[in-house]
Every structure is written in C-alpha cells, then in structure tokens.
C-alpha cells in the first residue's frame, strides 16, 4: 500500500512499552491521512515505525483532534475514582 511516506525534519526517538529502545531505531518518516470520524473530517499526520504485531497505536493527540479525548479521560477518571484509586 503506497501512502506517501515523507521524511521527518527531525528524527524522533521511540521506546517500547517495556522502556527498551525500539529495534528499528528512531522514527524517520510520517504520512498524512484524511481521517473521518462521524461527521468530523481532518488531515492528520501519523508517525511510521515498526511496532511489532500491532497495526496501529492511536494516542491522546489523535483523540484530542476529534474532541474525544476529554470524554475518554473524564470517563477514565470517574472509573478510577469509583474503584478507589
């Protein structure tokens, strides 16, 4: 699949969940995709790297771009509060 990978101006370090450096080294490229969630459509940049068996990892910046971040974090906070944490 050709998605138009472009070089980053500045390399980005990446660490795995176990805090070890990623075996493929620094992130060197990104892609820009036209993403639509519901009625909201935006152009978003995604960093490209090898993350093992996973296809994609979406973090807070992606959720915030679609204004889901606040609701997700609020729900998590309420859940943790109800669990006594």
List, run by run, the mean pLDDT of 10-residue segments along the chain (85 residues): 86 84 88 84 86 77 66 46 39
Task: Identify whether 34 is part of a domain.
Answer: yes
Task: Identify whether 37 is part of a domain.
Answer: yes
Task: Identify whether 62 is part of a domain.
Answer: yes
Q: How far apart are CA 3 and CA 47, in angstroms?
A: 12
Task: Identify whether 61 is part of a domain.
Answer: yes
Domain of residue 67 covers 6-82
pLDDT at 67: 65
Backbone angles phi, psi at 51, to 5 degrees: -115, 35
pTM over 0.75: no
Task: Identify whether 20 is part of a domain.
Answer: yes
Task: Identify whether 48 is part of a domain.
Answer: yes
Task: Identify whether 1 is part of a domain.
Answer: no
Q: How far apart are CA 14 and CA 47, in angstroms?
A: 10
Task: Identify whether 60 is part of a domain.
Answer: yes
Query: How many domains does one find in the chain?
Result: 1
Q: Residue 42's beta-bridge partner residues?
A: 35
């Amino acid at each position: 699949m050709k998605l138009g990978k472009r070089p980053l101006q500045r390399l980005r370090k990446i660490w795995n969940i176990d805090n070890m450096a990623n075996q493929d080294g620094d992130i060197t490229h990104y892609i820009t995709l036209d993403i639509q969630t519901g009625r909201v459509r935006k152009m978003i940049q995604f960093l490209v790297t090898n993350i093992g068996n996973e296809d994609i990892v979406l973090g807070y910046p992606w959720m915030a771009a679609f204004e889901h971040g606040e609701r997700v974090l609020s729900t998590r906070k309420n859940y943790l509060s109800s669990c006594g944490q």
